[in-house]
Structure 1
Amino acid sequence: MMGQVAFSLFGILVILLLIGVPISVSVGAAAAATILFCYPDLPVMVIAQRLFTSMDNVSIMAIPFFVLAGNLMTNGGISKMIVEFVNCFVGNIRGGLGYAAIVACAFFAALSGSAPATVLAIGSMLYPEMVKLGYPKERCAGLLAVSGGLGPVIPPSIIMVVYCTLTGASVTNMFTVGIFVGILIALILSAEVFYFSHREAWPRMDGKLDYSQIWKKFVRAFPALLMPVIILGSIYSGLMTPTESSATAVLYAFLIGVFVYRQLKIRDLPKIILNSAKSAGMILFIIATASSFSWLFTYSDMSDAMVSGIVALNMSPKLFCVLIAVLLLFFGTFLEGTAICVLLVPVLWPVAMSMGLTAIEFGLIVCLAGVIGAMTPPVAVNIFSACSISKLSIGEVTRGELPFFMGFVMVLLLIALFPSFFTFMIA
Structure 2
Amino acid sequence: MKVLIVGAGQAGVNVAHSLRQEGFDGSITILGDEPDLPYMRPPLSKGFIADGDTARIAIKPEGFYLKSNIKLVRNVRVASIDRAGRHVQAVDGRQFAYDHLVLATGARNAPPPIENLDSEGVVSLRSLRDATDIRERLDAAHNVAVIGGGFIGLEFAAMATKRGIAVTIVEAMPRIMARAVTQETSDLVAASHEGNGTRILCDSRASAVLGPDHATGLGLSEGTTLRADLVLVAAGVKPNTELASDAGLSVSNGIDVDGQFLTSDPDISALGDCCCFPEPTRGARTRLESVQAANDQGRAIARRLCGRPQSYVALPWFWSDQGDLKLQIAGLSTGTDSTEVLERDGGGRVVSCFVGGRLVAVETINAPGDHIAARKLLSGPAPIDRLDLKAVGYDLRRLLKGHCQLAEAPGGV
TM-score between the two structures when normalised by the length of structure 1: 0.30
Higher helix share: 1
Which structure exhibits the higher relative contact order, with contacts defined as CA atoms closer than 8 Å and separated by 6 or more residues?
A: 1
